[in-house]
Structure 1
């Protein structure tokens, strides 16, 4: 590119004294707008960061609150033990049961009994001599639960908690 093709505004020592004042005002406006856009972007980033930190703190407080879980416990005449944690969820309830003392090899079902007499099977397994912890679920609200039982293949309750 030849020097004659460069506009006078490109000179290193500034524009010539007879330069276009409209161009100077336009360049000044562009510089101010660029500066203002950077400041706005900084404010948006600061506000976003503040909301993210506040959300994380609120989530931590929410997670640390008592969930309202219910723990039901029961012991059979034969010495078997059942402890069931009942948690309300959107679709019903979640159960985490710990069973100990059921005769090994016994086919077992975890059954939820409601206050109005309905039953829901929440899980099944084959017992062994060791303690067993299993999870299950049922389509019922925790407030409607009257008790939880471990039943054998004849549907006879081995242990009931409630």
Structure 2
């Protein structure tokens, strides 16, 4: 499905990690030729990451009135719509909900007077690893548990150069969240590829971290128990 030249709602949803792998692939195709889009996504992702590292005392006046409640309601709506059957899923509404969540987060940063450069603490990461006996692909991944989402620091190896890959967080209920994507280089085939990503999924709900090709072939699945 074709998209507008610069669809802000899709970019916001992509930055929040609430698109399906297929939808994310479409957005990435647009980003490959759109420098403004890449900058916008980078800004949103950096803001989201930065906000999580800010200690509570860094807020001057606190988040905007009702901001926390609105964000919770918005994320619940996003998750509820993701659980619907694919045919009935109102993807447009989900994207708007995701963007609303982004606006609430950004509003908290601006109105609350956060010092984005401040240092903060995060939950120590837990490392997991696995190797697939049939594909011979393997991955080591460090998972940092945050409030309702996770940061990932992975090293995927044993994958041939030229393979388009996606880092996917899979939930115990089968829900999938795209955390990152890359094209394996010659160096990546020889030495492995380092990938940093993030996905909105409560840590306790995660079943595995997977490497899946853009043709939906699973190369390796790392079981996760948080």
1:24-80 deviation per Cα after TM superposition (whole angstroms, max 9, x unaligned): xxxxxxxxxxxxxxxxxxxxxxxxxxxxxxxxxxxxxx96xx945222211012322
Q: Normalized per residue, which structure has more strand?
A: 1
1:87 aligns with 2:144: yes
SS of equivalent to 1:143 = helix
What corresponds to 2:167 in structure 1? 110
Aligned length: 99
Alignment map for 1:8-157 (pairs within 5 Å): 67-77=123-133, 78-90=135-147, 92-128=149-185, 129=189, 130-157=191-218
1:73-126 deviation per Cα after TM superposition (whole angstroms, max 9, x unaligned): 110123221011111123511011110110111000000000111000100000
Q: Distance in 2 between matches of 1:73 and 1:143?
A: 18
CA contact (8 A) 2:147 2:202 kept: no
SS of equivalent to 2:215 = coil
Where do 5+ consecutive residues of structure 2 fail to align?
1-119
CA contact (8 A) 1:98 1:132 kept: yes
Q: Normalized per residue, which structure has more helix?
A: 2
What corresponds to 1:161 in structure 2? 222
RMSD: 2.0
SS of equivalent to 1:140 = coil
Q: Distance in 2 between matches of 1:72 and 1:114?
A: 16
CA contact (8 A) 1:72 1:147 kept: no
Q: With structure 1 as the length reference, what TM-score do the two structures score?
A: 0.56
Where do 5+ consecutive residues of structure 1 fail to align?
1-61
Q: Distance in 2 between matches of 1:114 and 1:94?
A: 15
Q: With structure 2 as the length reference, what TM-score do the two structures score?
A: 0.41
CA contact (8 A) 2:123 2:146 kept: no
